[in-house]
Structure 1
Amino acid sequence: MNDHDLPPEVIEKYSTPRGEIQLQRRGQYFEIISNGTFLMATYNGESEKLLISEPLKRSDHPSHILIGGLGVGFSLQEALKDPRVEQVTVLEIEETIIQWNRTLLSAVSEESSFHPKSNIIHADCLVWLAEHDDKFDLICLDIDNGPDWNVYATNESLYSDYGLSLLARHLQPDGYLSFWSATSSPEFVDRLKCHFQLVDILYVPQDRGEPDVIFLTKGPITQ
């Protein structure tokens, strides 16, 4: 039996304004569960890293990056590997996840949350974006499970025309915006094409179930 098949051991569990969130372990791996739904784990971070590495590869000057969703720290860790990056701002709505990254999960991402280039903010992504005017070279979002499968109904607006317009306003003219998703979404791709000049779709095969999907866009369409 490998670690994935071991029964989960609940390490910590908390109630939040969005429901119950828990950290559990299977052997050497950790999983984060929200309202009984799997969110993320430490045993496979390929797609979370691709969310960052692909736009980094295409960008000429990725000095300031915005990451929506801290998760287990894989995306932040990947961003900090690039010496061109000067600052990584991370928006995370769950204070508990921030604390786990600084304690129980710190080794998973090589203590990326303590890096001097990391700026982790406890905030709702859409609310923060609506209240600030910062521009970013890369915006990389790993919030909920994607456009068509939301654990939290309030996250649906992130993938709406309103959310995309707001994100476009914070993106540099030649900047890249990427989304992580647990499923494909032709309707979301069509919506992206209304707001951005280029849209690519990347697939990351998984051992079980559908491949993870990265929606990658470049350059907001000026209205």
Structure 2
Amino acid sequence: MVAVESTEIVEIARAETERGDVVLRRRPSEAGADVLELRVNGVFVMDTLETTSEIELAAQALELVDDPRSVLIGGLGLGFTLQRVLADPRVERAAVVEIEEPLIRWMREGTVPHGPAILADRRATIVNADIAMAIAEARSTYDLVLLDVDNGPGYLVHQANEAVYEEHFLQQCRDLLSPGGVLVIWSGNPAPELLEVMREVFGAAEEQRHDVLLQDRPEGYYLYLARST
């Protein structure tokens, strides 16, 4: 008897928050292993198949700082940015700010299978809060600030996240960085206005495009980088 591979997409976790629904789905892939997919308000956010840009968010920033002891990450996602940060032995402290408590719980409890191992690292601290509030209330400085809290300024999942890409918030990020520290922002689409505002705030900023395959479709993701003086 020949086994037939399932093509079914299965919802494995769902939570309703004041911002809408947060959903984890499992789908099959041509490679054989199932893929875990995160959606917010019906919008695809990320999955476990194409993680290049989440990892590059950390990798590119870590290369720019000689001694990245402390790192602040806005957005836990499925943990790949945090995992890459913790893979760097120079990092002594990594704080992650995530607004959706169910996502934190799913990572801790193993609903996201690789979650418990990542969060077990004693250098990692998870804060359930809005990133804008966390940045405004921060009392320590960081060598790196990595932001992946939405799909970018041109394709917002939550309209309130628009403030994350504006001058006032970026100034707060700059003030939070130690001398020579780096801010990196992830975007799913080109964001020329964000690049311009970052240049106004920091004096200089850079755009990097990363080509990826997303569910067999060629896509381009973007990183925006700036350094404090």
CA contact (8 A) 2:86 2:94 kept: yes
Of 162, 165, 168, which aligns to 2:168?
A: 162
Partner residue of 1:133?
Answer: 139
Q: Which amino acid aligns with 2:223?
A: I
Of 66, 77, 81, which aligns to 2:83?
A: 77
TM-score by length of 2: 0.90
Partner residue of 2:52?
Answer: 46
Partner residue of 1:172?
Answer: 178
TM-score by length of 1: 0.92
Give the share of equivalent positions with the same residue, in percent: 34
Of 124, 133, 137, which aligns to 2:130?
A: 124
In 2, the alpha carbon distance for the partners of 1:199 and 1:172 equals 17
C-alpha deviation, 1:206, in angstroms:
2.1
CA contact (8 A) 2:207 2:225 kept: yes
Within 5 Å, which residues of 2 pair with 1:100-115? 100-102=106-108, 103-107=110-114, 111-115=117-121
Structure 1 unaligned segments of length 5 or more: list them: none
Partner residue of 1:11?
Answer: 12
Partner residue of 2:222?
Answer: 213
C-alpha deviation, 1:110, in angstroms:
7.2
In 1, the alpha carbon distance for the partners of 2:59 and 2:106 equals 24
Partner residue of 1:21?
Answer: 22
In 1, the alpha carbon distance for the partners of 2:151 and 2:201 equals 21
C-alpha deviation, 1:132, in angstroms:
2.1
In 2, the alpha carbon distance for the partners of 1:35 and 1:110 equals 25
Over 4 Å off, 4+ runs = none
Point out the structure with max Rg over C-alpha: 2
CA contact (8 A) 1:88 1:119 kept: yes
**Secondary structure of 2:184's aligned partner:** strand
CA contact (8 A) 2:23 2:38 kept: yes
Structure 2 unaligned segments of length 5 or more: list them: 29-33
In 1, the alpha carbon distance for the partners of 2:142 and 2:113 equals 26
CA contact (8 A) 1:66 1:136 kept: yes
Of 70, 94, 101, which aligns to 1:95?
A: 101
**Secondary structure of 2:168's aligned partner:** helix
In 2, the alpha carbon distance for the partners of 1:106 and 1:96 equals 15
C-alpha deviation, 1:94, in angstroms:
0.4
1:6–1:188 distance in 2 versus 1, CA, 3 Å:
farther
1:4-40: CA deviations, max 9, x gaps?
x944211111110101111100121111111111111
Q: Which amino acid aligns with 2:25?
A: Q
Q: Which moved more, 1:128-137 or 1:80-89?
A: 128-137
CA contact (8 A) 2:52 2:212 kept: no
Q: Which amino acid aligns with 2:88?
A: D
CA contact (8 A) 2:57 2:223 kept: yes
Partner residue of 2:189?
Answer: 183
